[in-house]
């Protein structure tokens, strides 16, 4: 937009309202949001490509929280406090007064001599609760405003149900705007008008500064209405123009129902963009992505997928069904089924799931397999390694091409501190192992099934860490007589040796325990 603009641009975002219909005691209206941004964040994201010289955000209700959020998402924006809310015109008047203290174009700021200034030119005013606004619609509004030289140019929509909106009353020939009437002040004929104001305006800055100082509160709400500036300009014979945008781009959010509608509309818009860029979305109705998500061509999103935060997915990967991926990086040609991942890094050619949980600090190298009911946390897993099922890997480093047996637990917490486990490359650990950290299993080492590993295992060694098995013959028949188990044991013993007493005890075997183990390739 900046290359098409001749005049300096100042943006004023109105974000001071309480939003009582949101029914939220904890969250200011403009901080509610969806798709990884607040309502205010969506508005500022739409404004950013316009490259304004300055952006002022009028804050009021819960202004500390809004100002803090503003600092996080748009530190160059200028918060302007509207301590008492007396309408949109009042908010703009306060904003312009504050900006005037910063000086006009070419002047030094009176409050910060090192800060560039940008008054005069065009002022773009828009609400902080209109998250569906697009940069394209705003850019078109500004270009049209400068092309016509109008005192003001409005962004309007034609809606099926205009209840609650300010009605736009056109001039007799329909080419311009004669006035805007708030719903509460409209008569029957005016209420029938379906063209409504989106409360988005491009103004001549100097004319606006003069007009807002002449606003009256003599109306049904006792407020200074910004739309009344339009009437002032028309009365002075100045041109007021208008451009139209789809209602789906100008709709505001006043309650949780409208918040849900805006989220659905915005999500559909994002998914359509991704699909046109080469992403397959099998079920858009159950697929949700944040605005900050990056998807390469040939990604496949299956039903019931949520991609949140700064997540990126490489080409050829398939996510879902039933997966939630947050602030994670997924490489190319990987498959994640029924997976929850937070702050994880997944390489290429990786398979995860179903029913796996990748917690923060998980790093899976290329061609890793993480299977069913596996949980990882702060785990660095080397190329080609397999963790097939029923395992917890926490605070661990695992080398390349290692196999972790089923039902293993990396015992990382002693009740006070977390400790680290290291498993080398090409190792084979048995099923039902406990690795009591800190402990190291060397390259090429094996561990027997059922072992509790508390000491380091040298490379190439077999670790057997389990009690010797002892069979107490006849225990069930003696101690559980009359139970189905005792009856079954007696029948089996009789069938095997009819002449032998069923309860005759046998001495414990002195045969050494086998070194066999169970691994899960």
* 156 is an annotated ligand-binding site residue: no
* 10 is an annotated ligand-binding site residue: no
* 88 is an annotated ligand-binding site residue: yes
Taking each helix axis as running N to C, give the angle between helix 39-47 and helix 63-73, from 0 to 180 degrees, rounded to the nearest 10: 40
* 406 is an annotated ligand-binding site residue: yes
Residue 389 appears among annotated catalytic residues: yes
* 359 is an annotated ligand-binding site residue: yes
* 301 is an annotated ligand-binding site residue: no
* 405 is an annotated ligand-binding site residue: no
Cα separation, 341 vs 453, whole angstroms: 29
Place of tokens 């007064």: 97
Cα separation, 337 vs 372, whole angstroms: 10
* 219 is an annotated ligand-binding site residue: no
Q: 426 φ, ψ to 5°? A: 55, 30
Cα separation, 519 vs 521, whole angstroms: 6
Is residue 315 classed as helix, strand or coil in its secondary structure? coil
* 17 is an annotated ligand-binding site residue: yes
Looking at residue 413, what DSSP letter applies?
Answer: B
* 417 is an annotated ligand-binding site residue: no
Tell me the Ramachandran region of residue 373: left when phi exceeds 0, alpha when psi lies from -120 to 50, beta otherwise. left
Neighbouring residues of 421: CB distance < 8 A, sequence distance ≥ 6: 395, 396, 397, 410, 412, 435, 437, 438, 439, 440, 441
Q: 504 φ, ψ to 5°? A: -65, 125
Is residue 305 classed as helix, strand or coil in its secondary structure? strand
* 100 is an annotated ligand-binding site residue: no
Cα separation, 17 vs 221, whole angstroms: 15
Query: Which candidate in 389, 401, 419, 420 is catalytic?
Result: 389
* 166 is an annotated ligand-binding site residue: yes
* 87 is an annotated ligand-binding site residue: yes
Q: Are 11 and 54 in contact (CB under 8 A)?
A: yes
Q: Catalytic residue positions?
A: 389
**Binding-site residues from annotation:** 14-17, 29, 82, 87-88, 129, 166, 182, 254, 359, 377, 392, 403, 406, 412-413, 449, 466
**Binding-site residues from annotation for UDP-N-acetyl-alpha-D-glucosamine:** 14-17, 29, 82, 87-88, 166, 182, 254, 359, 377, 392, 403
**Binding-site residues from annotation for acetyl-CoA:** 406, 412-413, 449, 466
**Binding-site residues from annotation for Mg(2+):** 129, 254
């Amino acid at each position: 937009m900046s290359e098409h603009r001749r005049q300096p641009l100042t943006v004023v975002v109105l974000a001071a309202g309480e939003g009582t219909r949101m029914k939220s005691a904890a969250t200011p209206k403009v901080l509610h949001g969806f798709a990884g941004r607040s309502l205010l964040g969506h508005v500022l994201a739409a404004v950013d490509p316009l490259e304004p010289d300055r952006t002022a955000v009028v804050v009021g209700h819960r202004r500390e929280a809004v100002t803090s959020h503003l600092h996080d998402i748009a530190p160059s924006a200028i918060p302007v406090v509207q301590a008492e809310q007396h309408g949109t015109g009042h908010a703009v008047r306060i904003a312009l007064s504050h900006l005037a203290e910063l000086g006009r174009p070419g002047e030094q700021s009176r409050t910060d001599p090192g800060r560039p200034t940008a008054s005069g030119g065009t002022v773009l005013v828009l609400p902080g609760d209109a998250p569906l606004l697009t940069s394209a619609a705003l850019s078109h509004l500004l270009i049209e405003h400068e092309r016509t030289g109008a005192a003001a140019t409005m962004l309007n929509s034609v809606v099926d149900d205009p209840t609650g909106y300010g009605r736009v009353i056109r001039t007799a020939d329909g080419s311009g705007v004669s006035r805007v009437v708030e719903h509460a002040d409209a008569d029957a004929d005016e209420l029938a008008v379906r063209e409504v104001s989106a409360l988005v305006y491009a103004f001549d800055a100097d004319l606006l500064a003069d007009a807002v100082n002449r606003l009256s509160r003599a109306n049904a709400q006792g407020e200074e209405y910004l739309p009344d500036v339009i009437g002032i300009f028309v009365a002075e014979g100045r041109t007021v123009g208008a451009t139209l945008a789809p209602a789906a781009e100008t709709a505001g959010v006043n309650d949780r129902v409208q918040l849900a509608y805006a989220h659905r509309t915005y999500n559909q818009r994002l998914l359509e963009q991704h699909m046109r860029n080469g992403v397959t979305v099998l079920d858009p109705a159950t697929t949700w992505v944040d605005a900050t998500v990056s998807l390469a061509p040939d990604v496949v999103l299956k039903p019931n997928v949520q991609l949140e935060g700064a997540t990126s997915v490489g080409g050829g990967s398939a996510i879902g069904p039933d997966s939630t991926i947050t602030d994670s990086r997924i490489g190319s040609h990987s498959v994640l089924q029924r997976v929850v991942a937070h702050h994880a890094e997944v390489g290429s050619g990786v398979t995860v799931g179903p029913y796996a949980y990748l917690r923060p600090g998980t790093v899976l190298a290329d061609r890793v397999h993480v299977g069913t009911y596996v949980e990882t946390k702060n785990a660095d897993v080397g190329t080609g390694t397999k963790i097939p099922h029923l395992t917890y890997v926490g605070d661990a480093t695992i080398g390349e091409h290692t196999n972790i047996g089923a039902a293993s637990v990396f015992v990382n917490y002693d009740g006070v501190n977390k400790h680290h486990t290291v498993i080398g490359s090409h190792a084979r650990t048995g099923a039902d192992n406990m690795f009591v950290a800190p402990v190291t299993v060397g390259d090429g080492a094996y561990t027997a099934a059922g072992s509790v590993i508390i000491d380091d295992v040298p490379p190439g060694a077999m670790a057997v860490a389990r009690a010797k098995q002892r069979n107490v013959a006849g225990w069930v028949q003696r101690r559980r007589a009359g139970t189905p188990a005792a009856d079954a044991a007696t029948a089996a013993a009789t069938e095997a040796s009819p002449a032998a007493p069923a309860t005759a005890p046998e001495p414990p075997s002195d045969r050494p325990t086998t070194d066999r183990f169970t691994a899960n390739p």
